[in-house]
Chain A
Amino acid sequence: MAAFQPLSHDREMAMTEDVKRIEAIASGIRRRVLQHSIANNGGYMSQACSSAELLSCLYGGVLNFAPLGEPIDPPSFIGVPAVGVHTYKTGQQFHGASGDQYDRLISSPAHYALVIYAALIETGRLREDGLDHFNRDGSTVEMIGAEHSPGFETTTGSLAQALSQAGGIALARKLRKEKGNTWVFMSDGEFQEGQTYEALQAAKFHGLDKLRVIVDVNLNQCDGPMDTVMKIEPLADRIRAFGWDVTVLDGHDIPAILAASKVETKSPHMLLCYTDPVRGLPILEERKPTLHYLRFTGADERAKYEKAYQEMVK
């Protein structure tokens, strides 16, 4: 694991009400994903453990989204986009109306959908019972989010396409001289794809300084630890070489994430958040080295997770 640079800030001072609130959101994300995984005999659990603080920071404070009013009921699937069809609404509606001053969030690893739905519920954007529709026929609350799914503005399940899409959105917003930032949430595995580096060079070349990327560097992927699949380090050096501003930090350190997200940079800014894929759920450690998807081996294991859940909600 690459060393992260602890930001010099006063931890005591930073433990504000905001941080406590975001901590509660992060706990809620882990709790909801665990509960759902137990009920459905599986889920993308390690992704919730690694990214809970990142998504809670984004949805809980970093992103300047238009107010939503009431949480939205997830719509039923009404069809795919088609030529000349404009009845279609993307999952962007859960982020509120877009506008000059507002931020945008394009989530790249679409298999984090369950975690994103949980974050939307925890921040009052998706109705509490939204997860009841998860992976149900005819629902938009799909297992791998597409652009009709809550919280998804684009279709990114084929990984490493979101940064380019967001680059186009950020370029359009730059042409319109908009003030809001365009954020991209990425996973580290996507730094194995060549398109990511094409997007990095283009974002710098076109001066997209309002493009912000936050990466869940959990160093794990479908086949196992990334070091055994395809190394991506030294990641920060690679990205800096493309002219980006890079901040390396502990992805569970809420004050550090909040501080880094506020930094104004002259180049596109990437927050490389090193995370622990079993954080908050230590029994996941037993599943190593393959953490990508939690499918219980039997009733015994399920019972262990049920027990962990009871501990969590105590």
Chain B
Amino acid sequence: MSYEIVARPHQQNFIDWAKDKPEVLVLSADLTNSCEVGKWRDTYPDRFFSMGMAEQNMLGFAAGLAREGFEPWLHTFSVFLYRRPLDQLQMSVAYPSLKVRLVGFLPGIMTPGGVTHQAIEDIAIIRAIPNMTILEVGDATEAESVLDVAHKVDGPVYIRMLRGEVSRIFPTSEPFEFNTARILSTGTDLTLISSGIMTEEALRAIPLLQERGVSISHLHVSTMKPFTDPRIIAALKTAKSGVITMENHSIIGGLGSAVAEVMAENGISAPLQRIGLKDTYAHGASQKYLMAEYEMDAPALIRAVEKALGKKLNIDESELDQQRSVNVHSSAKAEAL
């Protein structure tokens, strides 16, 4: 399966979207072009504020602007929105439940920038912060339509955003819907719940699994908090042989943990396998390399399915759809990070 590749889905879309929304401002911390808002700055120079490499202060300024009725959209890499300025995120923004939008780029292991640039526990940390809403986009359609969803939330929102060359997996007629999982396939043996870029990865293996007679429900989740979608509960209840989660994040505190909580709270008894970073930091390398190294790729999903079913499926890796190689030096990105 090959998808349409959209170059810089956020860049022009965000300009068009913000046109009739004078309250929408952008605050940036020296990663403006890297976060696809350089053209936005040039289009709306009076609504763009460069805050320099000073994220703690940027969150405070955002809080003050939001208190006064503006809607600041902060653009920087995910790591810089919650690690260094965690106290500011909590006390200046989250506690007063202000309409601040944190647009975080390079979630998980998507960057060769290494451990300093890889947000691998952002969902875990931000999920524990009261009043926060967490959205994660999985394709170009969601990168475009997440704006409306975040805009409607009457409180602070953190978005795990995609940039550069992004696949369009979901048709533009099916935009991001708040707290509503996409049901990509239905089955009764297993339930797979994936998020972000892991959905595209999982979709490489699903047809082969189905060919081998595996009856699998597959849901794509894009609202990470709140995590109260009845579709998820229903899909978990149908899983006879097990549940698998797949996330571009640590398996602690993210999607896998959220699913475990829902299963426990609803008395759903099935073995749960969590695919993701297994309580480890990563390092600087390509996305493809890291996904294989940390067993977060389609072969890892097949192994998890085999374990759940207790049998070998004899799928050769050559049968898998070609994994899309993300071009680090793509002209759709401002730099090679």
Contact = CB atoms under 8 A, between A and B. Distances in A.
Interface of A: 80-85, 147, 153-158, 161, 163-173, 175-176, 194-195, 198-199, 201-202, 205-206
In this complex, which of B58, B61, B95, B96 has the most chain A Cβ atoms within 10 angstroms of its Cβ?
A: B61
Given A83-B133, A164-B92, A172-B65, A198 B56 contact: yes
Interface in B105-159: 130-131, 133, 153-155
A165 B293 CA distance: 43
Contacts of B60: 161, 163-165, 167-168, 195, 199
A171 B153 contact: no
What is the interface residue range for chain B against chain A?
20 to 34
A194 B56 contact: yes
Interface in B55-79: 56-70, 72
Contacts of B50: 205
A165 B64 contact: yes
Nearest to A167: B61
A195 B61 contact: no
A151 to B, nearest CB: 16
Give chain A's interface secondary structure class.
helix
Interface of B: 49-52, 54, 56-70, 72, 87-88, 91-92, 95-97, 130-131, 133, 153-155
A161 B62 CA distance: 12
A81 B69 contact: no
A169 B58 CA distance: 12
A175 B70 CA distance: 10
Contact of A81 (B58, B92, B96): B96
A154 B61 CA distance: 12
Contact of A169 (B52, B57, B68): B68
Nearest to A178: B68
A195 B301 CA distance: 44
A168 B54 CA distance: 14
B154 A84 contact: yes
B57 A198 contact: yes
Contact of A161 (B58, B70, B91): B91
A208 to B, nearest CB: 10
Given A147-B96, A201-B54, A167 B64 contact: yes
